[in-house]
Amino acid sequence: MLMKYINAAMHQARYEFLKDDGKFYGEIPICKGVYTTAKTLEECRDELEEILEEWILFRISKNLNIPGIRGVKLEVKEVA
């Protein structure tokens, strides 16, 4: 389920070339705070995916809401 969520989120990613510094900017708008810049589009995608994974783990550790994306939801259930 985690990979399905990551794939759905990455399909929502937006990328932009920043002319002023020659870098690529990437973000996943629905995942507030998930953004990065990198020298190449490939590096930007890779870094964005890594930041997304960290964002998910952080939100799970703090019991924060994780928005559903394209019908994919991550739900954390407590285990006794």
pLDDT in tens, 46-80: 999 999 999 999 999 998 999 999 999 998 777 76
Q: Name the domain count of the chain.
A: 1
pTM of the model as a whole: 0.91
Mean pLDDT of the chain: 95
Q: What is the mean pLDDT of residues 26-43?
A: 98
Range(s) of the domain holding residue 28: 2-61
User: Quick one: average pLDDT of 22-41?
Assistant: 98
Rounded average pLDDT over 3-29: 97
Query: Does 39 fall in a domain?
Result: yes
CATH number, domain at 17? Answer: 3.30.160.250
Confidence of residue 8 (pLDDT cuts 50, 70, 90): very high
Query: Which residue from 36, 20, 38, 32 is spatially nearest to 67, judged by alpha carbons?
Result: 32
Q: Give the alpha-carbon dihedral of 32, 74, 41, 34, to 10 degrees.
A: 20
**pLDDT of the residue at 78:** 74
